[in-house]
Amino acid sequence: MKNWIQVFSIIDFISVGILLTAIAMNALRRLESCVRAYMFNSWLLSFLIAIVAFMIGEAHLYMASIVTFLSKGIVIPLFLRKIVKQMKVTHDVEPYISNALSLTISGILVAVVYVSLREGIFVTGFSRNVLQISTAVILIGLFIMISRRKAITQVIGLLFMENGLFLAGFSLTFGMPIIIELGVLFDMLMGVIILGIFAIQIKRAFTSSDLDKLTILKG
């Protein structure tokens, strides 16, 4: 089984899946699909952690995998879907730039990451690609945050960034102590809930879920 994983480079396949779900965000038109893309991304992340746990036989990584699956793979997507329904927004993402341009920029980001991280810090990494992919996912998340108009897409961009960050941390150190992972996940969960509540309040106060309206405070 362990040989299988190595021969078919399963880890690379999964991490490429993580990258693809992030890139797919650029092309998706509906908010529900964005939430689904995030859900797949989190499932792949937790699956990757489980595979590595199996390869190196670390019990606490199984725990990390299960906790990731439950929080990011189930609770947060369900919560986001509920928020999208409650806000009764037009379901369209309405990006500032066209999908083609957006995809191109994401592609350029991935290329830049691969070129600039060709030599750097790889010692404990179990696959050469994971660190590059995680950095690319962080940058794509950031790009989605700045190029979309809806409050919810900003939250999803942030969540993609955090998935990328977890992957990066994981490829560098085989995960943090479990208590720390739990603390970080708890903070994230709280943050998402608060952001969801704020998004609904923005919709009520500004009668729009577009962030264009949030320009009163400046200078």
Partner 1 sequence: MIEILLIPVITAAVCYMLKNYRLISYVSLTGAVTLTGFSMPVIFSSMSSPHEIMGGMLYTDALSGYIMALVIFLGLVSAIYSIGYLEHELKVGLTDIAGMRRYYALLHLFIFTMLLVTVANNLALMWIAVEATTIVSAVLIGFGFRKRALAIEAAWKYIILCTVGITFALLGTFITYYASTAVMGTEGALNWTELKEIAAKLNPSTMKLAFIFVLVGYGTKAGLAPVHNWLPDAHSQAPSPISALLSGILLNTAFYGIMRFVSIVEPSTGEFFTGNLLIIFGLISIGISSVFILVQDNYKRLLAYSSIEHMGIISLGVGIGGPVGIYGALLHILNHALSKPLMFFASGKIQAHYGSTRIENVNGVLSSMPLLGTLTFIGALSLAGTPPFNIFLSEFTILKAGVDKGLWLVVGLFLLFVIIVFYGILSGFGKMLFGTATGLKSESAEEQSVKGAETFKLPNVLTNTTMIVMALSIIALGFKVPDFIDSTIKTCINVLGIR
> Which residues make up the interface to partner 1 (CB under 8 A)?
121, 123-124, 138, 142, 145, 151, 154, 158, 161-162, 165, 168-169, 172-173, 176-177, 180, 183-184, 186-187, 190-191, 194-195, 198, 201-202, 205-206, 211, 214, 216-217, 219
Quick one: 20 or 195, whose CB is closer to partner 1? 195
Quick one: 16 or 142, whose CB is closer to partner 1? 142
Q: Is 36 helix (H, G, I), strand (E, B) or coil?
A: helix
Query: What's the closest the beta carbon of residue 206 comes to partner 1, in angstroms?
Result: 6
Quick one: 27 or 75, whose CB is closer to partner 1? 75
Distance CA 97, CA 88 (A): 23
C-alpha dihedral over 17, 199, 144, 16, to 10 degrees? -10
Q: Is 74 helix (H, G, I), strand (E, B) or coil?
A: helix
DSSP state of 75: I
Quick one: 84 or 192, whose CB is closer to partner 1? 192
Query: What's the closest the beta carbon of residue 87 comes to partner 1, in angstroms?
Result: 14
Query: What's the closest the beta carbon of residue 67 comes to partner 1, in angstroms?
Result: 15
Q: What is the DSSP string of 95-111?
A: BSS-HHHHHHHHHHHHH
Q: Residues 148, 174: contact at Cβ < 8 Å?
A: no
Query: What's the closest the beta carbon of residue 100 comes to partner 1, in angstroms?
Result: 26
Quick one: 16 or 200, whose CB is closer to partner 1? 200
Sequence-distant (≥ 6) Cβ neighbours of residue 37 within 8 angstroms: 21, 22, 24, 25, 28
C-alpha pair distances (Å), 154 with each of 19, 148, 195, 209: 18, 7, 10, 11
Distance CA 89, CA 150 (A): 9
Query: What's the closest the beta carbon of residue 29 comes to partner 1, in angstroms?
Result: 23
Quick one: 27 or 60, whose CB is closer to partner 1? 60
Query: What's the closest the beta carbon of residue 55 comes to partner 1, in angstroms?
Result: 17
